[in-house]
Structures are given as structure tokens and as C-alpha cells.
Amino acid sequence: MLISDTHRFLFIHVQKTGGSTIDNNLSAALGDVRRIPEAHRHAPLERLLQLEPGLADYWIAGFVRNPWSRMVSWWRMVERFRDGADRGVERYLDHLKRNKFIASVIAEHPDFESFILNATAEHARLRKPQVEFMTTPTRDADFVGRQESLESDLKTIYDRLGLEWTPLESVNIDPGRPDYHDLYTPASRDRVAELFAADLSAYDYTF
């Protein structure tokens, strides 16, 4: 999450939606940025409003992504940590000592099919619909951008906040990522559709 009190703005950071790139660029453009120490950086809107009810009066934005593509991004991150640790890269080894979630996925799920069919049952964060990050019973995000149109949607946020646009400096780029369509079997495709039915309905995504 990212908060600018000067601009009365709250950004919701959903995992695997380009959020790190967005956060870095907004932080530089906004100037005054703060976080809520008690909240995880991927905390949903409902949790943030529990901690700071006054944020309901702020302009609230976040980004989402096609669920099938998003799950491939999750898996590619797992592969990077696994392969880096196998090569003995110290930063990956150190991270896996601290990140029990990634370590357990690597230990128990050797391939993408197992990750989709089984890891999603074991780890709640992998099956939480994105719409649940953006909505509460009393307050919804004012603007929901899409990772697929990240730059143009982020420009919309800049315009709304009166910020000067600067070219994006992307992070966590995965140039070797395959077309997500090629990785799914009928079973894994259906599993994602089942898990993220709320996202498919809310954001009109299709396979």
C-alpha cells in the first residue's frame, strides 16, 4: 500500500499486478509517501480502513490482472527462487530461510500443474480474488487499473492527482515468461476459473 496525505490518495498493491513498478514511480512523483506499519504491503482495502478509517475519504486506486496470467507470474517467481537457490545464490538462499511460504511451495510442488491444483488449496493468499482487495461492504476503490494496460491506466491516476508524467521504470521484469495459454491443462484452467470466478465477473476477464 502507499498513502499520500497531501494528495489524499491511497494505492492498493495487489500481488503480481505490476504493483512494485507502480509503487516506485508513484513514490517518486508524489514526494510525500507513507505506509501503515501494522499493515502488510499487500493488505486489502478492508484491512487498511480498519486501521485508518479516515482513509475512506481518500481517492483510492489499485490494479488487477487476468487471473490465468497472474498465476503464471506467481509460479515464475517460485521458479526464480528455486533455481537461484539450486545454483547457490546467497540472496535466494537467505530469502528462503525467511520466507516459509515460498520455501514450502518449492518443497511440495515441483511443477505448475501441482502449483495450481494443490498449492492453491494449501495457501490462502494464492486463492484470494483480487476483487476482495478492492471492495468492502461500505467502500470500494474509485479506480481499478489493469496490468494489461498499466501505462495508460497509471497515466489516468497521474492526471487525477495532478502529477507530471515520467516514463515508467519497470521492475521485476520477466522477459522469458511464456504465453500463459501454453501452460494450462483443462484441469488447471478450470481450477483458476473456479477460484477467481469473482474476478472474472467483476473485471470481465476471459482465458
For 129-165, the pLDDT digits (tens) are 999 999 999 999 999 999 999 999 999 999 999 999 9
17 pLDDT higher than 80: yes
What is the average per-residue pLDDT within 26-52? 96
What is the average per-residue pLDDT within 25-36? 95
Closest CA to 12 of 38, 36, 45, 34: 45
Whole-prediction pTM = 0.92
Residue 172 banded pLDDT, cuts 50, 70, 90: low
Please state, rounded to an integer, the average pLDDT across all residues of the chain. 95
- CATH number of the domain located at residue range(s) 2-65+130-161 in this protein: 3.40.50.300
Q: Please name the residue that has the C-alpha cell 501494522.
A: 38
89: which strand partners? Answer: none
| pLDDT recorded at residue 168 | 80
Q: Choose between 123 and 177: higher pLDDT.
A: 123
Residue 175 banded pLDDT, cuts 50, 70, 90: low
| pLDDT recorded at residue 177 | 77
| pLDDT recorded at residue 36 | 97
Residue 136 main-chain phi, psi, to 5 deg: -135, 170
Amino acid at 20: S
Residue 15 main-chain phi, psi, to 5 deg: -60, 145
For residues 63 and 14, give the distance between their C-alpha atoms in angstroms, rounded to a whole number. Answer: 7
174 pLDDT higher than 80: no
Q: Please list the residue range(s) of the chain that carry CATH number 3.40.50.300.
A: 2-65+130-161
For residues 56 and 69, give the distance between their C-alpha atoms in angstroms, rounded to a whole number. Answer: 31
